[in-house]
Structure 1
Amino acid sequence: MDFFSLNGSIGNNTEYYEDPSSLFDMPVLVPVTIICILLFFLGITGNMTIILIFKRYKEMQTTVNMYLSSMALSDSLIFLGLPSDLYRIWKYKPYIFGNFLCKFNVYLNETCTYCTILHITTLSVERYFAICFPLKAKATITKRRVKGIILLIWVCSAVTAIPILFLFGVEHRNGSLPEETNECKYIEQAARSGLLETMAWLSTLYFFLPVVCLVLLYGLICRKLWRTARNLEGHHAATRERHHHQTVKMLAVVVVAFVLCWLPLHVGRILFAQGSTVLYEISQYFNLISMLLFYFGASVNPILYNVMSQKYRKAVCKFLNHNQAWQQRNLSRSGKASVEGVEISSFL
């Protein structure tokens, strides 16, 4: 995610740098770097654990968890762009990784951003049908169809992010040496043509339209649950409704976290699209906070699942105990082999 180009206008403000190679002072860079490293390992470890748990245990392979595991993959891929963003806040120019990596990093992050948004929206639509139209949902929401929808989400995200490839690249200022002033930023021609502004608005709509849809869906779900709670009859009905309540509560928390963490990013894009004359230094610190919140949003879901879902906590404990037992068996086998080796060598 190119926070310091698409959210602001860094390419047009390089004359304000005291140190043209760095965006921030050392007291800012060090704590931000530590936070980014922690988020990187937390995000990769947590999201990969989700994927492994959902793949390993059959009882966890529900349609809801299929969406969540695919979204975990998307969040994991988002972190592939973190080293590049971290490098660029330390040394913004010259950009030494070439035009391809510049374009690919921005494209991958944009694709995964769209993908995560579509996963959350589609999953919420599925829960709406499962709760409000349970009989119809039971016949239509199948694992095979969910796999097809997930594939469609990835394809749609990858296709709609393609314009990013033509909007970003490595450029340098006229009259300067490329090896000294190369920057990975939006292309000046794209900015002058209006394509960059159009893409900024498209990305913003990609966020706000689903958010409006989510608010509407969860409002309808809550109304349905409130009405049915007064007319419950039988143990099975109560158990089913309690399960729906737990699932909706967990997903609602995930949605709220998603909105709070990604909102600053899109507010910055709106300001950019409107050509807002915000003070340069303030806008860059706003972009820095947006970056940290963005990566925090991609790493927080495993924590929320662990806090909100007892079933997920049990699966994590089972997964960790299984791995621990497997490691102990390997250690015991290696210990036994070493003892046997000592005995054989002594005998020889």
Structure 2
Amino acid sequence: MDSISNYSYFQNDTDYYEEQSFSLFDIHVLVPVTIISSILFFLGITGNLLTLFIFKRYKEMRTTVNMYLSSMALSDILIFLGLPSDLYRIWKYKPYIFGDFLCKFLFYLSETCTYCTILHITTLSVERYFAICFPLKAKTTITKCRVKRVILSLWVWALLTASPILFLFGVEDRNGSLPDEAKECNYIERSAHTGLLETMTWVSTIYFFLPVLCLTLLYGLICGKLWRTRHKLRGPQAASREKYHKQTVKMLAVVVLAFVLCWLPFHIGRILFAQTTTILYDITQYFNLIAMLLFYLGASINPILYNVMSQKYRKAMSKILNYSQPCYSSKPSCGISHSGLEV
């Protein structure tokens, strides 16, 4: 889970829950949350692995768009590595038994992948803007080699900007007694008092709202361009190119909308947490629990959206699934056709 949001329901007035065996929620809340999380874990890992396999298996699927989507799928898979730890901490937030290194690493990995996904969505949208609004220039500048370098730079930048998390989070004894039983995987109070916690909260917030503003502007310009040129294009190739652009933009717009809806509650949760009082404490705790589920939903939903929005993705998926079934020559679905397999 996003680490800056994560602290908001794993700390603050923890003595309030001491009588509940160090569990933040009742059993009737924990069980359904665990079931839902397990389903999301399975869907997220399986769906994103299949996405990587599809884009790798079929040469015609290795477009620049799909290169970004493949990297996003890898990021989403890595996000799910933190789900078991999050579940453990809502069942029993202390003592944290997995050690300081794993605590720091999972927070860092989650924050890095969160930043990386946002950067990929924004960069991909910028690429689509140039491809549609400046097609001649884009044809020479947007190459697979350059896209690979861009993707690598996005990962490096995400790793660097998330690195303060390594100094902000860790295993700490909050009560000053019974160190083995009171250890929590949370933000370190000493580091938080230096202003690092507030700084990273601002960084994470900017990482969300600034790209959302850019995405809104970009898709507005793209839609305007497609609307103005809808009757000007002539010839079958121009019509086919326009149809491809519309399908791609439509799919990416749905992906962006899902991203905003699934991750917006984190930032609302931070605002609520900053204004939290004892009276509002229960409300913010449950709100952030829902935000956690939405976060992992956002990491698992993209393959489902590709399957719904892209007919060619569905065809590629059906071909992969047919490998596990007996194939008879009379079946029209047998055999692999590589025509037109791109999202």
- TM-score, structure 1 normalization: 0.90
Alignment of 1:287-302 (within 5 A): 287-302=288-303
Q: Give distance in 2, aligned partners of 1:5 and 1:310.
A: 36
Alignment of 1:173-322 (within 5 A): 173-272=174-273, 274-277=274-277, 279-322=280-323
2:99 maps to 1:94: no
Does the C-alpha gap of structure 1 residues 124 and 178 become closer, same or farther in structure 2, counting only changes over 3 Å? same
Report the equivalent of 1:335.
none
| Counterpart AA for 2:110 | N
Report the equivalent of 1:8.
8
Choose 200-209 or 7-16, whichever is displaced more: 7-16
Report the equivalent of 1:34.
35
**How far did residue 234 of structure 1 move?**
1.9
Q: Give distance in 2, aligned partners of 1:208 and 1:140.
A: 28
**Deviation by residue 1:268-315 (Cα, 9 ceiling, x = unmatched):** 23444x454471111110110000000000000000000000110011
| Counterpart AA for 1:14 | T
Report the equivalent of 1:19.
20
Structure number with larger C-alpha Rg: 1
**How far did residue 10 of structure 1 move?**
4.4
Report the equivalent of 1:164.
165
| Counterpart AA for 1:16 | Y
Does the C-alpha gap of structure 1 residues 180 and 5 become closer, same or farther in structure 2, counting only changes over 3 Å? farther
Report the equivalent of 1:108.
109
Q: Give distance in 1, aligned partners of 2:220 and 2:5.
A: 37
Q: Give distance in 1, aligned partners of 2:70 and 2:326.
A: 25
| Counterpart AA for 2:300 | S
Report the equivalent of 2:73.
72
**How far did residue 240 of structure 1 move?**
1.1
| Counterpart AA for 1:68 | L
Q: Give the paired residue count.
A: 325
**How far did residue 325 of structure 1 move?**
5.1
Q: Give distance in 2, aligned partners of 1:184 and 1:7.
A: 9
**2:5/2:267 contact within 8 Å kept:** no
Q: Name the Cα RMSD after superposition.
A: 1.6
Q: Give distance in 2, aligned partners of 1:155 and 1:222.
A: 32
Q: Give distance in 2, aligned partners of 1:6 and 1:271.
A: 13
- Give unmatched runs, 5+ long, in structure 1: 327-348
- Corresponding residue SS for 1:184: strand
Report the equivalent of 1:345.
none
- Give unmatched runs, 5+ long, in structure 2: 328-343
- Corresponding residue SS for 1:229: coil
Q: Give the structure with the higher percent helix.
A: 1
- TM-score, structure 2 normalization: 0.91
**How far did residue 33 of structure 1 move?**
0.4
**How far did residue 173 of structure 1 move?**
2.4
**How far did residue 15 of structure 1 move?**
1.6
**Deviation by residue 1:87-134 (Cα, 9 ceiling, x = unmatched):** 111111110000000000000000000010001001000000000000
Would you identify which runs of 4 or more consecutive aligned residues in structure 1 move more than 6 Å? none
Does the C-alpha gap of structure 1 residues 174 and 309 become closer, same or farther in structure 2, counting only changes over 3 Å? same
Alignment of 1:41-60 (within 5 A): 41-60=42-61
- Corresponding residue SS for 1:22: coil
- Corresponding residue SS for 2:170: strand
Q: Give distance in 2, aligned partners of 1:195 and 1:102.
A: 18
